[in-house]
Structure 1
Amino acid sequence: MVSLYRTIRSIQRVGLREWWRQMQYIGDAKSGTFVGADQFGNRYFENRNGEEEIPGRHRWVDFAQHNYHASQVPPEWHSWISHIRQDPPTADPVVQNLTPSWQTPWVENMTGTRGAYKPYNTAKPKINAWEPKVTGRA
């Protein structure tokens, strides 16, 4: 539950329009330092003040799309947001030098959408559907 004090403080920090958008999309008012963005347009934030947020909830992502899911977060940002890495990918030299040149760009999981992979089979089916023979009546 968002307290009145926290709501007023958040409106002062991010502005009324951004506060309203956050309440509609994530159901909570958050304000923090912008850390970076990824190729999907998702924005990543961090709030270093420990007293303002629940422990473990001080890093978050602001998704670019309204219909969002976890596979829209690339692996390098996932490791930062899950506290596997201390520094974000924009400031971590290990992550920047680790990406090999042969690796394809990260794409989200398209399962359940029109872009999902659908394999096809070229083998003859073992069971064929019954097709009735139509003959004229005498």
Structure 2
Amino acid sequence: MVSLVRYIRNIRRSGIREWWRQMQYIGDAKAGTLVGKDQFGNRYFENLNPEDEVPGRHRWVDFAQHEYHASQVPPEWHAWLSHIRKQPPAEDPVMQASSPPWKAPWVENLTGTRGAYRPYNTAKPKIEAWDRRVTVQRGEARA
């Protein structure tokens, strides 16, 4: 009964459209305050009301893309989601001071996609496939 009341209360707070989106992506009705947004367009929420959320599940991310994975969360937001940092990156003075100007922007992990890094191999292969055209050009072909 408590979870049904929580579920209906969160639908009323977030609205039908947001409820439908949450059901498609996270499978639960959640309502909270928007804490921030990252460079990928992901939105981060927090709900500190103890009667609405299970302890430890009161921070969550709403991914901007339909095809999402965990590497689309930048490290500073991951620290906040995991309760390593108390304040979100925009409000945390330590996080603001620790981002040097030479630091490259965060890029998601592209392993398994077309954008994945593939090194160029310069070593000669140990086994080469036989090519009849090369043999004919050398004059090694037998009649």
Q: Same fold (TM over 0.5)?
A: yes
**SS in structure 1 of the partner of residue 60 of structure 2:** strand
The residue that corresponds to 2:93 in the other structure is: 93
Give the letter for the 1:55 counterpart. Answer: P
Aligned-residue offset at 1:8: 2.0
Aligned-residue offset at 1:101: 1.1
Which stretch shows the higher mean deviation, 70-79 or 45-54?
Answer: 45-54
List runs of 5+ in structure 2 lacking aligned partners.
none
The 2-side partners of 1:136 and 1:17 are apart by: 75
Are the aligned partners of 2:11 and 2:30 in contact in 1 as well (CA < 8 Å)?
A: no
Q: Which runs of 4+ in 1 moved over 6 A?
A: 133-137
The residue that corresponds to 1:84 in the other structure is: 84
Aligned-residue offset at 1:67: 1.1
Structure 1 or 2: larger helix share?
2
**SS in structure 1 of the partner of residue 9 of structure 2:** helix
Aligned-residue offset at 1:16: 0.7
Give the letter for the 1:96 counterpart. Answer: Q
Q: In structure 2, do the counterparts of structure 1 residues 66 and 36 end up closer, same or farther at CA, with 3 Å as the change threshold?
A: same
The 1-side partners of 2:142 and 2:122 are apart by: 36
The 2-side partners of 1:6 and 1:24 are apart by: 18
Give the letter for the 1:50 counterpart. Answer: P
Measured on the aligned residues, the alpha-carbon RMSD in Å equals 1.9
The 2-side partners of 1:7 and 1:58 are apart by: 14
Aligned-residue offset at 1:4: 3.3
The residue that corresponds to 2:9 in the other structure is: 9
The 2-side partners of 1:76 and 1:94 are apart by: 11
**SS in structure 2 of the partner of residue 35 of structure 1:** strand
The residue that corresponds to 2:46 in the other structure is: 46
The 2-side partners of 1:36 and 1:15 are apart by: 20
Percent identity of equivalent pairs: 74
List runs of 5+ in structure 1 lacking aligned partners.
none
The residue that corresponds to 1:75 in the other structure is: 75
Are the aligned partners of 2:10 and 2:29 in contact in 1 as well (CA < 8 Å)?
A: yes
